[in-house]
Structure 1
Amino acid sequence: MTTEKILAALSNVQEPDLGKDLVTLNMVKDIKVEGNNVSFTVVLTTPACPMKDMIRNACVNAVKLLVSKDAVVEVNFTSNTTTKRTDEGKMLPKVKNIIAVVSGKGGVGKSTVSANLALALAQGGAKVGLMDADIYGPSVPIMFGVRGQRPMMVDVGQEQPMIAPLEQYGIKLISIGLLVDEKNAVVWRGPMASSAIRQFVTDVFWDELDYLVVDMPPGTGDIHLTLMQTVPVTGAVIVTTPQDVALIDAKKAIAMFGQAQLNVPVIGLVENMSYFTPAELPENKYYIFGKDGGKRLADEYDIPFLGQIPIVQGIREGGDAGVPVMMGSDEITKAAFRSFAAFVVRSISMRECEYRGGRRLRQLCRLLVPLKLFFYHRGHRVLHRVHSQAAKAALF
């Protein structure tokens, strides 16, 4: 067995989402061959890659089938989280992806979706933060069981100390509910609320994150504009329920991100409270708020449909108790959130790989344009010389 043979075998293993083989994508590193023992590292586009086991099995099978059936194959994984950010010197330079979770109206479970999305990403191996941008109705302190706790100021070698986000269940957290007594109403005009969001960006020490999930307030207002115009948001996840009254406002949220002054990609749409399944009748589904409204809306706007989250009593109980369902024992509901998170990660990775491909093409075009002009001008001079010589021949 040789390194060349291992690479040749792995060139038959496709990355499921990107549609190219691992070798072409330069995802195979550190190949070591000692007798029948083979080890190598596959560089994933995200630590929360949902296809990790599939890729491992495909790699092992490729080596055994195409190189040696006696090979003992060890597949290691690392990750290089994809990002299309080119402004590392600006806001949140160490945050690779910023995901805004939005809804056109309140009451559709946006905070529940945000919390469990963050946890699903973290449980997949990613470094994750959660910013509660709902200034007037913060939910994160209750849902993560950190009510009454206060963030500390830390010296990080800058001119001023910064706010250290709280950490719970492996997630970095910040919320106005951690800074203001929960009995006091936050009665602020738009500019004041927007200023608080800017401080969550500039004054909180987020450090290195693969994903910063932002739980946005309902509607389409000042806070949305402030966040989108302050930091480069990777994309938005739209949350809706199947009923028409929610879908109408979800359309407004989708339209908002398509406006020229924002131009933020929509990662996709997730349908919450899709159906109810009683514990005693696990095969039954009752569509309390209607059926497939979110899927139809995603099809109408040609955006990815990220999945359906059922109505489960444990989701409500866990949120109230400070133990989100992703930290509980309900495997069926956890699987729904894991599937949703997997779709989010895959959508981001595919978009950013397309962006990188487009950027390479643009760079190539920038290189080719001067060459094209050079050959054009050179050709023009040659043509001019030929014409001049022909003219002289005609005269004489």
Structure 2
Amino acid sequence: MTAITQAQIEAAIDAYVDPDLKQSLLAAGAVQQIEIEEHRICVQLQLKHVCASRHQALRQALSEQVQPLAAERQVEIGITQQVEAHPGPKKLPGLAGVKNIIAVASGKGGVGKSTTTVNLALALAAEGARVGILDADIYGPSQGMMLGVAEGERPETAEEKYFKPIVRHGLQSMSMSYLVDENTPMVWRGPMVSGAMQQLLNQTLWQDLDYLLIDMPPGTGDIQLTLAQRVPVSAAVIVTTPQDIALLDAKKGIEMFRKVDIPVLGIVENMSVHICSNCGHEEALFGANGGERIADQYETELLGQLPLALTIREQTDAGKPTVIADPESAHAQRYKAIARRVSAALAEKNSQGGNFVPNIAVEID
């Protein structure tokens, strides 16, 4: 039988570029072990990002890369995935029970940020992660309705000072809507809102989360600054539409996160096209290629584009977001592709080192 070396197998694996990582699995440090035996070759991968729906395709792709070298040997590809914790800013303690915190933000309201957040969270869970959602929009919380939490359902308490997150569709969640009547307006000034957000975050008993997604309120105000200065946020995702005014505000959001040293993983362009339910004709109602332009300008990436679709709105309003309501649909597959890329991009940033605590200076000309 033809002799084969580990270096040859590594070279074959290195020739395959993973679509989520945008690099080879060898370069990403995912190849944990290679065993060469008389009748088989075993490659063990340990991924630092989640992509459960692609495991079979990944096995097939790597087997095709290695098989020409294997001759009559059987090729076996083993895959495990283990999300690592982001080190975070040096002077900010980590959040108990949470490995990584991802802020999902937008410069303005009405771009579908909350819908994107809940579907992104469900997509990460479908890919094998343990995920939670914190609804940080104190004035207009919506995650409870989107997750199908009944009005009046309250979280259980522990030790008379902690909340247990409400679990729906496998997601742990906390929202101001769980604590007050949904018709009660939050007539609070900024410091009270920031304090409430910190309490929701720190007094919730999150259970072994790989990712906690924070559904941010629109804008660049008190809650955003509080989050950046006092919470070890791993990274941010910006949601926008192709509309020029939305892009202008999205730029402000990116600049804000950059000023406080929170990396922006990329842009999600929502409502990119309208697809006619009768004839299938696609029309860019809010403009075209806006997300791509802003990603190029700020040297980040366009994580994905989502259509303006009636079914996404109907399913989310009914408390069963698209990824749960119709997991095999084209829309759900787009959310999963974005989730895989977010997980992979964060793992890549983790390998490059953590953030540092920024000094924020206000200068008056």
Both proteins in one fold, TM over 0.5:
yes
The residue aligned with 2:360 is none
Instruction: Supply the distance in 1 between the matched residues of 2:312 and 2:339 (Cα, whole angstroms).
Output: 16
The residue aligned with 2:295 is 298
Instruction: Supply the distance in 1 between the matched residues of 2:254 and 2:274 (Cα, whole angstroms).
Output: 27
The Cα offsets for residues 173-218 of structure 1, whole Å up to 9 and x where unpaired, read as 0000011111211111111111111112211111321111100001
The residue aligned with 2:193 is 193
Alignment of 1:102-181 (within 5 A): 102-148=105-151, 149-155=153-159, 161-181=161-181
In structure 2, do the counterparts of structure 1 residues 48 and 129 end up closer, same or farther at CA, with 3 Å as the change threshold?
farther
Instruction: Supply the distance in 1 between the matched residues of 2:298 and 2:25 (Cα, whole angstroms).
Output: 31
1:333 counterpart = 2:337? no
Q: Contact 2:124/2:131 (CA < 8 Å) preserved in 1?
A: yes
Instruction: Supply the distance in 1 between the matched residues of 2:103 and 2:182 (Cα, whole angstroms).
Output: 24
The residue aligned with 2:273 is 275
Q: Could you tell me which of 318, 322, 344 is aligned with 2:319? A: 322
Alignment of 1:160-239 (within 5 A): 161-239=161-239
The residue aligned with 2:30 is 27
Instruction: Supply the distance in 2 between the matched residues of 1:203 and 1:100 (Cα, whole angstroms).
Output: 18
Instruction: Supply the distance in 2 between the matched residues of 1:27 and 1:342 (Cα, whole angstroms).
Output: 15
Q: Contact 1:91/1:230 (CA < 8 Å) preserved in 2?
A: no
> Given residue 151 of structure 1, which amino acid in structure 2 is its aligned partner?
P
The residue aligned with 1:100 is 103
Q: Contact 2:52/2:126 (CA < 8 Å) preserved in 1?
A: no
The residue aligned with 1:378 is none
Question: Structure 2: 5+ residue runs without aligned partners?
Answer: 357-365
- Judge which range, 293-302 or 79-88, deviates more: 79-88
Higher helix share: 1
- Judge which range, 8-17 or 167-176, deviates more: 8-17
Q: Contact 2:62/2:77 (CA < 8 Å) preserved in 1?
A: no
- Judge which range, 126-135 or 245-254, deviates more: 245-254
> Given residue 179 of structure 1, which amino acid in structure 2 is its aligned partner?
L
Q: Contact 1:41/1:78 (CA < 8 Å) preserved in 2?
A: no
> Given residue 100 of structure 2, which amino acid in structure 1 is its aligned partner?
N
Q: Contact 1:237/1:266 (CA < 8 Å) preserved in 2?
A: yes
Instruction: Supply the distance in 2 between the matched residues of 1:351 and 1:145 (Cα, whole angstroms).
Output: 34
Give the Å deviation of 1:241.
1.0
Give the Å deviation of 1:35.
5.9
SS of 1:246's equivalent? helix
Question: Structure 1: 5+ residue runs without aligned partners?
Answer: 360-396
Instruction: Supply the distance in 2 between the matched residues of 1:281 and 1:319 (Cα, whole angstroms).
Output: 24
SS of 1:297's equivalent? helix
The Cα offsets for residues 346-394 of structure 1, whole Å up to 9 and x where unpaired, read as 32122222337x99xxxxxxxxxxxxxxxxxxxxxxxxxxxxxxxxxxx
Scaled by the length of structure 1, the TM-score of the pair is: 0.80
In structure 2, do the counterparts of structure 1 residues 29 and 109 end up closer, same or farther at CA, with 3 Å as the change threshold?
same
The residue aligned with 1:385 is none
Higher strand share: 2
Q: Contact 2:50/2:340 (CA < 8 Å) preserved in 1?
A: no
Instruction: Supply the distance in 1 between the matched residues of 2:87 and 2:52 (Cα, whole angstroms).
Output: 18
Q: Contact 1:91/1:202 (CA < 8 Å) preserved in 2?
A: no
The Cα offsets for residues 6-58 of structure 1, whole Å up to 9 and x where unpaired, read as 67524531363364553x76534466677635545310011237764453224
Instruction: Supply the distance in 1 between the matched residues of 2:79 and 2:155 (Cα, whole angstroms).
Output: 37
Instruction: Supply the distance in 2 between the matched residues of 1:88 and 1:99 (Cα, whole angstroms).
Output: 18
The residue aligned with 1:349 is 347
How many corresponding residue pairs?
350
> Given residue 56 of structure 1, which amino acid in structure 2 is its aligned partner?
R
Give the Å deviation of 1:226.
1.0
The structure showing larger relative contact order (alpha-carbon pairs under 8 Å, at least 6 residues apart) is: 2
Give the Å deviation of 1:110.
0.5
Q: Contact 1:18/1:350 (CA < 8 Å) preserved in 2?
A: no
Give the Å deviation of 1:79.
2.1
> Given residue 163 of structure 1, which amino acid in structure 2 is its aligned partner?
F
Q: Contact 2:50/2:343 (CA < 8 Å) preserved in 1?
A: no
The Cα offsets for residues 203-238 of structure 1, whole Å up to 9 and x where unpaired, read as 111132111110000111111111111211111111
1:48 counterpart = 2:45? no
- Judge which range, 133-142 or 145-154, deviates more: 145-154
Q: Contact 1:42/1:76 (CA < 8 Å) preserved in 2?
A: yes
> Given residue 133 of structure 1, which amino acid in structure 2 is its aligned partner?
A
* Structure having the higher Rg: 1
Q: Could you tell me which of 36, 60, 63 is aligned with 1:60? A: 63
In structure 2, do the counterparts of structure 1 residues 238 and 78 end up closer, same or farther at CA, with 3 Å as the change threshold?
closer
The Cα offsets for residues 110-156 of structure 1, whole Å up to 9 and x where unpaired, read as 1001001101111000111111000000010110000322110135x
- Judge which range, 110-119 or 204-213, deviates more: 204-213
Instruction: Supply the distance in 1 between the matched residues of 2:199 and 2:320 (Cα, whole angstroms).
Output: 28
Give the Å deviation of 1:293.
1.8
Instruction: Supply the distance in 2 between the matched residues of 1:21 and 1:47 (Cα, whole angstroms).
Output: 13
Q: CA RMSD in A?
A: 2.8
Instruction: Supply the distance in 1 between the matched residues of 2:78 and 2:174 (Cα, whole angstroms).
Output: 37
